[in-house]
Amino acid sequence: MRTLLAMSVLVVVMGCGGGEENHDDHNGGDQDDACPATTSVSITNFTFSPRCLRVSPSASVTFTNNDSAAHTATATAAAGFDTGTIAGGASAAITAPSAAGDHPGRCSFHPGMTFTIRVE
């Protein structure tokens, strides 16, 4: 504990010079906002929104496709979740994984479209 305190003081002293401490705090706050707790994902202009979502184990997650192009929401892992094809204007639901952790997914038609389901 004494060592930790000494390091904290050092960080604060260094932070006074470059403003690094404020910068780090800011990033920490943004991390939660970037991965909100929601079970609704929209697909607009070939982008999942949000790109990261926090859900409970085995939660039902609904993807709504606002594009005219068809998309999917498919786990990057071989045996994971898969909405199948979601036609333009349609929506589909999947069951989130039961295991805690980050589960990446993508559109199988457009692999550059990626998202992450964070199970907590």
Binding site for Cu ion (CB under 5 A): 71, 107, 109-110
Cβ closer to Cu ion: 43 or 119? 43
Cβ closer to Cu ion: 110 or 118? 110
**Residue with tokens 């993508």, as numbered in its chain:** 106
C-alpha torsion 68→95→119→43, nearest 10 = 0
Cβ closer to Cu ion: 63 or 103? 63
CB of 35 to Cu ion, least distance (A): 21
Q: 5-42: b or e for each residue (b if 16 or more CB lie within 10 Å)?
A: eeeeeeeeeeeeeeeeeeeeeeeeeeeeeebeeeeebe
Q: Which conformational region is residue 60 in: left (phi greater than 0), alpha (psi within -120 to 50 degrees), or beta?
A: beta
Across the chain, which distance is largest between two alpha carbons, in Å? Answer: 60
Cβ closer to Cu ion: 41 or 119? 41
- Using CB positions, name the residue nearest to Cu ion: 107
CB of 95 to Cu ion, least distance (A): 21
